[in-house]
């Protein structure tokens, strides 16, 4: 699956699955030497806390340390600006193996947003917070809410180490404001959300597997309960005719055409 764009075009069944569920897993999509290189760089950059990084204390998620000086407060949660960090990340993010499926999902002229995600997400076993149910589009500003993120597992991702959880089909649903909290997280204390929350599906990945997911898909993640750090690379894409809105954070960094 990793030698050229034609070989990575989605089958009709895969495309329909993405349209229906709002996400799709493609196994073994990343070339092995590139995956190994990205993991090696990520481990070194986390060990050195090489800037720009986001710390656990910065996310303010449930279970996060209350300040940088609290125990675990300087645990790296995200290595930001992945494409500028090492050529391996840019090679992966602009790879033809991604261009083909993304064009099927989004249309012609795929561009990589450097403003959103574009990071290595890490989950430390000692200090890892919980990410509640959210859709990424809530803080992004584009002409249309049509973006797809590509989540690459650099190592094994299981429920136990805090893999991504998704609510299949939620990308196609609309939500009354009362079903969301003030930060637009899906409320789990509301009866009307119960049926949807029962759809929770753990996206378990092996090294090199990729999850494509729509920017309107509700997703969440738990603690890392193992004794090894989890590393995932995440990038976000849109079609060339779906522009980031001028003056917003989404337009602050140039996009990269694939
Ligand atoms: O905690 C996680 O791994 C999930 C992160 C996430 O969903 C996000 O940053 O949008």
Question: Is the minimum distance from the CB of 136 to ligand 1 under 6 angstroms?
Answer: yes
Q: Tell me, letter by letter, the H, E, C secondary structure of 143-201.
A: CCCCCEEEEEECCCECHHHCCEEECCCHHHCCCCHHHECCCCCECCCCHHHHHHHCCCE
Q: Residue 1: which pLDDT band, with cuts at 50, 70 and 90?
A: very low
Ligand 1 pocket check for 219: Cβ under 6 Å: yes
Closest to 106 (Cα-Cα) out of 213, 201, 203 = 213
pLDDT at 63 over 90: no
Question: Which region among 129-133, 160-164, 184-188 has the lowest average model confidence (pLDDT)?
Answer: 129-133
What atom in ligand 1 is closest to the CA of residue 121?
3
Closest ligand 1 atom to Cα of 117? 9
d(CA 216, CA 210): 18
**Residue pair 125/225 in contact by the 8 Å Cβ criterion:** yes
- Residues 92-113: tens digit of each pLDDT: 999 999 999 999 999 989 999 9
Question: What percentage of the chain exceeds 90 in pLDDT?
Answer: 86
Task: Please indicate whether residue 3 or residue 189 has the higher confidence score (pLDDT).
Answer: 189
User: Span 154-164, mean pLDDT?
Assistant: 97
Q: How far apart are CA 222 and CA 228, in angstroms?
A: 15
**Would you say residue 2 has pLDDT above 60?**
no
Token pair belonging to 197: 């929350």
pLDDT of residue 71: 81
Mean pLDDT to the nearest integer, 227-233: 97
Per-residue pLDDT of 12-56, as tens digits, reads 999 999 999 999 999 999 999 999 999 999 999 999 999 999 998
Tell me the C-alpha distance between 199 and 170, whole Å: 10
Ligand 1 mean position, distance from CA 221 (Å):
6
Q: What percent of the chain has pLDDT over 70?
A: 98
Give residue 3's pLDDT.
46
pLDDT on residue 48: 96
Who contacts 196 (Cβ-Cβ below 8 Å, separation ≥6)? 167, 170, 173, 186, 218
What's the mean pLDDT when you consider all of the chain? 94
pLDDT digit string (tens) for 124-138? 998 888 899 999 999
pLDDT at 181 over 90: yes
**Cis omega (within 30 of 0) on the bond before 23?**
no
Residue-level pLDDT at 66: 82
By alpha-carbon position, which residue is closest to atom 2 of ligand 1? Answer: 221
CA of 49 to the centre of ligand 1 (A): 19
Residue with tokens 């494509």, as numbered in its chain = 212
Complete domains list, the chain, with CATH? 6-257 (2.60.120.620)
């Amino acid at each position: 699956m990793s030698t050229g764009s034609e070989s990575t075009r989605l089958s009709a069944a895969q495309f329909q699955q993405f349209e229906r569920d709002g996400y799709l897993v493609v196994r073994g999509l990343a070339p092995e030497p590139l995956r190994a290189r990205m993991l090696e760089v990520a481990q070194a950059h986390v060990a050195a806390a090489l800037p720009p990084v986001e710390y656990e204390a910065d996310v303010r998620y449930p279970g996060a340390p209350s300040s940088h000086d609290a125990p675990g407060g300087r645990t790296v949660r995200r290595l930001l600006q992945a494409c500028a960090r090492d050529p391996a990340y840019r090679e992966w993010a602009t790879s033809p193996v991604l261009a083909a499926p993304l064009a099927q999902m989004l249309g012609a002229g795929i561009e990589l947003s450097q403003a959103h995600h574009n990071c290595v997400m890490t989950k430390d076993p000692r200090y890892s917070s919980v990410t509640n149910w959210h859709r990424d589009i809530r803080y992004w500003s584009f002409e249309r809410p049509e973006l797809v993120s590509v989540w690459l597992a650099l190592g094994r991702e299981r429920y136990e180490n805090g893999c991504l959880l998704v609510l299949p089909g939620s990308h196609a649903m609309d939500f009354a404001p009362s079903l969301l909290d003030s930060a637009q997280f899906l409320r789990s204390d509301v009866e009307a959300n119960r049926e949807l929350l029962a759809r929770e599906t753990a996206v378990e990945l092996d090294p090199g597997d990729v999850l494509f997911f729509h920017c309107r898909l509700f997703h969440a993640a738990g603690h890392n309960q193992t004794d090894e750090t989890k590393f995932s690379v995440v990038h976000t894409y849109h079609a060339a005719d779906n522009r980031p809105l001028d003056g917003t954070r989404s337009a602050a960094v140039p996009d990269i055409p694939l």
